[in-house]
Structure 1
Amino acid sequence: MPLNIPDKLPAYDVLTGENIFVMTHSRAVHQDIRPLRIGLLNLMPLKIETEVHLLRLLSNTPLQVEIDLVHTATYRSTHTPESHLETFYTTFEEIKDKKYDGFIITGAPVEQMEFEDVAYWKELTEIMDWAKKHVTSTLYICWAAQAGLYYNYSVPKYPLDKKMFGIFSHTVTAPQVPLVRGFDDTFLAPHSRHTEIRKEDIQANPELVLVSESEEAGVFIVSTRSGRDIYVTGHVEYDPLTLKKEYLRDKNKGLEIEPPENYFPSGDETQHPVVRWRSHANLLFSNWLNYYVYQITPFHIEEIS
């Protein structure tokens, strides 16, 4: 089944060009089916690019998925056209009475700030509280994973000596968890962050399960025992050139930045990166939608509590 997205959303042309089955709202309303309702709180500055990254992964499922794009009201992005936000996005105030089968909160380039100093922190905490009674399962990505673990479980973040930047090998530490069903013994995923959460803090909380980790990149996937909250510290959604763009952006600004590790073939920046994380990224999102959303959520969405 297709991904159901708003009419004229720019991601439509990109995804159909990649032979991904998507359907506009105007066509979907003619199908007699109860789609999964997924909310996406997009905290990234380049919202259109992030939409493509995540919608690409959400499309790889036999389920019909309906997306609501959400942005913060307390902070307006300056990197995304206002017309795009007005046309395709809504605010928390406008959706707070709705129920969602699943909800995704993206990363944000604010990880070196204290959580409470982030302009939209109060609004974000309201959304995280709201999700506990209005969402079947919430997926937190990168900075949002750190923010969710901090707010919900008092798990601190720690600054790194240098940016965790590149493609790293991971292992599954809780193979019985459905989220990693079908995963290989080792698999690759991208990271791009200046801070970390630590294994001992996760293991000290009986409500949390360390699902996957990396010898180099540390904690990768954490789940609550109920599966209602999933925390992913990396960026499995990144496309082939995202790390390259981040590297060149910082390099051109004169910032101290090393090339992303294990990314350019033979370490040659002139070579096109080879994607080696796509299959597990798709599997992660498919497993989340199937085992933590579709298999759990009630048929009548208003019964979520």
Structure 2
Amino acid sequence: MPIKIPYHLPAREILEEENIFIMDEGRAAQQDIRPLNILILNLMPEKEKTERQLLRLLGNTPLQVNITFLKTATYESKNTSSYHLDEFYQTFDQVKEKKYDGMIITGAPIELLEFESVDYWSELTEILRWTDKNVTSTLHICWGAQAALYYHYGIRKYELPKKCSGVYMHRVLDEKAKLLRGFDDVFKAPHSRNTDISIEELIKNNNLKLLASSDEAGPLIISSTDGRRIMITGHLEYEVTTLAEEYVRDKAKGISIEMPEYYFPEDDPVRTPVNSWRSHAHLFFSNWLNYYVYQETPYDWD
């Protein structure tokens, strides 16, 4: 089934070329079903890329999904035009009286900052608190996952000796978890971050379940015991070229950074990487929408 997005959203043309099922508002109004309403707080600087990555995965399920994009009011993006933000995004004040079946909070390239030093931290904590009563299940990605673990559970992040960048092997730790239904025992996922969280703190917290982890990249998928909060420290949503683009960008800035691990064929940055995580990315988002959102959300929030 399709995702419903604004007709003029730039990502639409690319997704249609990939045969992602997209529906406009006129056709959606004729569907005699209750669609899922998903709110996406996009904190990434290149917002149009992130829109495309997430919409591609949300559009590959049997469910009709209505998307609302959310921006921060206390910080203005420097990498996305004000026209795009005004046209396709809302602020928290515009949505806080509504209920949502699911929400996604993305990462942000600010992980070396203390949480309280982030310009929009106060606004984000208000949103995190609001999700408890207004969202059935919230998916937090990368820095968004670290922020949720810190705010809700007091688990701090720590700086790594070097950036964790690459495509790493992970092992499923809970075969009965619905979120990982259909997963292979081991699977690959991209990471791109300078900080990590303690696996020991996760394990000893009775309100959390560690579902998948890597010997090299650490914890990947974490769930609250009730499934209402999902935290993923990596980037299953990444496109095949995303890590390469980040590597080139950082090198151009003069940042001392190592090549992403297990990513370029034979560690040759001239060669085109191979996407080895796509199927599990689609399965992960499909499982989240089905088991943690659709199966749990009330038909009528009122």
Query: 3-state DSSP class of the match of 1:149?
Result: helix
Q: 2 CA distance for matches of 1:24 and 1:234?
A: 31
Deviation at 1:26, TM superposition (A): 3.1
Which residue of structure 1 aligns with residue 187 of structure 2? 187
How is 1:1-305 mapped onto 2 (pairs within 5 angstroms)?
1-302=1-302
Amino acid at match of 1:247: Y
Query: 3-state DSSP class of the match of 1:275?
Result: coil
Amino acid at match of 2:212: S
Is contact 1:7–1:26 with CA below 8 Å preserved after alignment?
A: no
Amino acid at match of 1:231: M
Is contact 1:169–1:186 with CA below 8 Å preserved after alignment?
A: yes
Amino acid at match of 1:35: P
Q: 1 CA distance for matches of 2:93 and 2:26?
A: 25
| TM-score (normalizing by structure 2) | 0.99
Identity of aligned residues (%): 57
Is contact 1:40–1:68 with CA below 8 Å preserved after alignment?
A: yes
- Superposed CA offset, 1:258-297 (max 9, x none): 1111111111111111000000000000000000000011
Deviation at 1:25, TM superposition (A): 2.1
Amino acid at match of 1:48: E
Query: 3-state DSSP class of the match of 1:67?
Result: strand
Q: 2 CA distance for matches of 1:224 and 1:254?
A: 39
- Superposed CA offset, 1:38-66 (max 9, x none): 00000000000000000001011000000
- Superposed CA offset, 1:90-145 (max 9, x none): 00010000000000000000000000000000000000000000000000000000
Deviation at 1:253, TM superposition (A): 1.0
Is contact 1:136–1:228 with CA below 8 Å preserved after alignment?
A: yes
Q: 2 CA distance for matches of 1:83 and 1:33?
A: 33
| TM-score (normalizing by structure 1) | 0.98
Deviation at 1:301, TM superposition (A): 2.8
Q: 1 CA distance for matches of 2:261 and 2:70?
A: 33
- Superposed CA offset, 1:181-225 (max 9, x none): 110010000000000011100012101000010000001011001
Amino acid at match of 2:231: Y
Deviation at 1:27, TM superposition (A): 2.5
Q: 2 CA distance for matches of 1:73 and 1:242?
A: 27
Q: 2 CA distance for matches of 1:8 and 1:31?
A: 21
Q: 1 CA distance for matches of 2:26 and 2:233?
A: 36
Task: Name the Cα RMSD after superposition.
Answer: 0.7
Is contact 1:107–1:143 with CA below 8 Å preserved after alignment?
A: yes
Deviation at 1:10, TM superposition (A): 0.8
Deviation at 1:246, TM superposition (A): 0.3
Query: 3-state DSSP class of the match of 2:8?
Result: coil
Q: 1 CA distance for matches of 2:286 and 2:198?
A: 27
Amino acid at match of 2:279: S
Q: 1 CA distance for matches of 2:8 and 2:27?
A: 12
Amino acid at match of 1:77: S
Is contact 1:228–1:292 with CA below 8 Å preserved after alignment?
A: yes
Runs of 4+ more than 4 Å apart: none
Q: 1 CA distance for matches of 2:301 and 2:251?
A: 47
